Structure 1
Amino acid sequence: MPREFSKKDIEIFNKLAPEARGETISREAGHHFPYILRPISHKFAESAEDFRERLERLDPEELDYLVGLALENKEDVRSLDEDLDELLEVVSEKVSPERAKELKDFLGLV
């Protein structure tokens, strides 16, 4: 069963995709997005650079919160494709290299 966005999830989603105007429902599928980063990567960001720019809008606490969700399997980062590299770089720069490594290790990346 997909998780429901908390108030904090919605605030982060809106920061990453202001053009969604607070809407967290997929028009194509007709249900609430189960994750924050996947729709940003797949539906809103036009490129890896755009995805990175969006991530850079977040403060370190918000980024760390997303990493925590990923480590609990509550946020899907495995399907981000090339955007995963951008996420890891931004986490390394804004949170810490150790936190980025923790996520990399969790995902089984070398």
Structure 2
Amino acid sequence: MSRVFSDMDKQIFDKLAPELGGNTTSAGGHNYPFILRPLSHKIAQSAEDFRERIERLSVEELDYLVKLALENKEDIRSLESEDIDTIIELVEQKISLERMKELKQHLGIV
């Protein structure tokens, strides 16, 4: 199932990976199906870099990604484990404890 990036997706991707200059295709020429997976595995240089990038997001943008994840349209499960921890922590800090619990339940994290 391939997802086509919406304008909001592109805006978030550009904020998280400005060095790509709006390019949402992989080195293999395929459109990225997710925002966070290429960020976690290919773009961010470290867990700290990933965190710094995610912290750029507004509450609305972060919640948008959580909403996509809850709809299985964004992939959080296959991120590096430190990056999953970062997402969960920032959802709790920026959005709410309830939203963080909802995400953890969806991801099967106890």
TMscore range, shorter length: over 0.9
1:14-25 counterparts in 2 under 5 A? 14-25=14-25
Report the TM-score, using the length of structure 1 for normalisation.
0.96
* CA distance in 1 between partners of 2:52 and 2:80 (Å): 17
String of CA shifts for 1:41-63, please: whole Å, max 9, x gaps: 11111111111110100000100
Q: In the alignment, what sits opposite 2:9?
A: 9
Runs (4+) of structure 1 exceeding 2 A deviation are none
Task: Between 7-16 and 40-49, report the one with greater CA deviation.
Answer: 40-49
Report the TM-score, using the length of structure 2 for normalisation.
0.96
| Equivalent residues, number | 109
1:23-102 counterparts in 2 under 5 A? 23-27=23-27, 29-82=28-81, 83-102=83-102
Structure 2: tracts of 5 or more residues without a match: none
Task: Between 67-76 and 45-54, report the one with greater CA deviation.
Answer: 45-54
Structure 1: tracts of 5 or more residues without a match: none
The percentage of aligned residue pairs carrying the same residue is 64
Deviation of the 1:81 alpha carbon:
2.5
